[in-house]
């Protein structure tokens, strides 16, 4: 009889402990859902490059998620594609790891296409120039009358350089 009472006591203790752990973790799920909803609200589109199997969301310039340590980043100097003579600058890590979104950027060639979805419009760009230049905090680009999309990351060949991909808008599909 003592053995049965001990087993019942252990089962009750075990059940209460499991319940407590479940209840304590419940608010974390709610918190995570709120964070996910906030991220979704700050998502303004995506960058898609089929040739290198890339499709990643983009976040508002002022979002805390718009940073290279987490995502592809829209640089502050960008003039978004809804504006006349736009020039969008996007930067991301290359190399290896889960945030190396531009790891295969070096595989792009002249004439390749890049898709940018922004505010429910899809903008298609064609690569017109690829070069490397020293990392100085600036990208030297000749602005032209066409809407442009500039992608940049660290050079795969030289740690002191950055790889720059210049593309111009071919079409806009609303």
**Could you give the CA distance from residue 72 to residue 84 in angstroms, rounded to a whole number?**
23
pTM of the model: 0.76
The structural architecture, per CATH, of the domain 45-173 is: Beta Barrel (2.40)
Which tokens belong to 109?
A: 């060639």
Print pLDDT tens along the chain (174 aa).
666 666 665 566 666 565 555 555 544 444 334 444 445 678 899 999 999 999 999 999 999 999 999 999 999 999 999 998 899 999 999 988 899 999 999 999 999 999 999 988 999 999 999 999 999 888 888 887 789 999 999 998 888 999 999 999 997 765
Q: Where are the domains of the chain?
A: 45-173
User: Of the candidates 103, 96, 52, 101, which has an alpha carbon nearest to the alpha carbon of residue 72?
Assistant: 101
Cβ pair 68, 127 in contact under 8 A: no
């Amino acid at each position: 009889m003592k053995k049965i009472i001990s087993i019942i006591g252990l089962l009750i203790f075990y059940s209460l402990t499991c319940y407590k752990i479940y209840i304590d973790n419940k608010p974390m799920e709610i918190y995570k859902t709120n964070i996910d909803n906030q991220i979704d609200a700050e998502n303004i589109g995506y960058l898609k490059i089929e040739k290198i199997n890339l499709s990643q969301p983009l976040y508002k310039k002022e979002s805390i998620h718009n940073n290279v340590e987490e995502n592809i980043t829209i640089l502050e100097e960008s003039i978004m594609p809804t504006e006349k003579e736009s020039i969008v600058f996007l930067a991301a890590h290359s190399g290896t790891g889960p945030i190396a979104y531009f790891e295969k950027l070096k595989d792009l060639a002249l004439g390749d296409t890049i898709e940018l979805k922004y505010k429910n419009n899809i903008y298609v760009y064609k690569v017109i120039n690829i070069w490397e230049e020293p990392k100085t905090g600036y990208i030297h680009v000749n602005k032209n009358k066409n809407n442009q999309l500039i992608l940049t990351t660290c050079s795969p060949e030289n740690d002191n350089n950055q790889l720059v991909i210049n593309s111009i808008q071919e079409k806009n599909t609303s």
